[in-house]
Amino acid sequence: MDAVEVIKRRLKEDRMADAPEGPEDIGEKTKRPREVAFMDVNLCFPCGKCPEFCPVACIEYLAPDSVDNRGLQPVQDRFQECIGCYICVEICALLTDYDAVRMYDVALVEEVTGVKIGDKKPAEYIPAQPYEEYFAEGGLYRHLGHGSRIREKMSAEERANLKTTG
Ligand code: SF4
Ligand code: SF4
C-alpha cells in the first residue's frame, strides 16, 4: 500500500461524523463542509504533491507574481470548491517537511473573505488567491487553523516509512 493510501485509510478511521465519505470516491462537492483548507504560501515549497491527490482537484499553482520573490509560485486551493477532506493537510505534514496546510472553520473564512461557501462549487472558475495576510505564519488567523489529525497517532517508524514510500 503506498503512502497516500495509508493516509486515506487512517483518515477514514478518524473521520468526523459530518466529514465527507471517501475522500477517494469524491469527484465534486455536494455539501457545505465544516472546514476548508488554506496553504501557507510562504511555507509551500511547492513540491506539487497535494494538487495530485485532492479529490476535487481544487488546488492550483498561483498565477505568476502572486507571491513576491518566488520563481515557481506556491499552490493554493480554490476554497469555494474544497470539501474539507484533510488530504492535503496530511500529505503536506506526513510526506514533506513543510507542514504548510491548515483547515479553517467555514464561518471564519466567510467572515474574513466575504465569500459565502455553499454546498456546490461555484458555477464560474474563481482563481485561487495567496491570502498570505490571513493564513500564512504571522498572518491574522494561522493560529486558528487545524493541522494533521493523524500524525500524532502514528509511530515515528510509521511516519518515516510513509516518507520513504510517498
Ligand atoms: S504538499 Fe505542501 S509543500 Fe507540497 S505543494 Fe502541497 S502545500 Fe506545497
Ligand atoms: S481539504 Fe485539501 S485535498 Fe481536501 S478538498 Fe480541500 S483542498 Fe482538496
Ligand found nearest the CA of 26: 2
- Give the pLDDT confidence of 74-91 residue by residue, as tens digits: 999 999 999 999 999 999
For the cut 50, the answer to whether the pLDDT of residue 5 exceeds it is yes
Q: Is the CB of 83 under 6 A from ligand 2?
A: yes
Grid coordinates 502572486 are at which residue? Answer: 66
Q: Is 42 exposed, middle or buried (0-12, 13-18, 19+ CB in 10 A)?
A: middle
Atom of ligand 2 nearest to the CA of 83: 5
For the cut 60, the answer to whether the pLDDT of residue 29 exceeds it is yes
Q: How many CA atoms lie within 13 A of 59 on its CB side?
A: 31
pLDDT of residue 162: 86
Alpha helices in the chain (DSSP H): 3-14, 49-53, 87-95, 106-113, 132-135, 156-165
pLDDT of residue 1: 61
Tell me which residues have their CB closer than 6 angstroms to ligand 1.
39, 44-50, 75, 88, 91-92, 96, 98, 100-101
Domain spans of the chain?
3-165
Q: Is 86 exposed, middle or buried (0-12, 13-18, 19+ CB in 10 A)?
A: buried
pTM score, two decimals? 0.93
* 3-state DSSP percent of the chain in helix, strand and coil, to 5: 35, 10, 55
- Give the pLDDT confidence of 38-58 residue by residue, as tens digits: 999 999 999 999 999 999 999
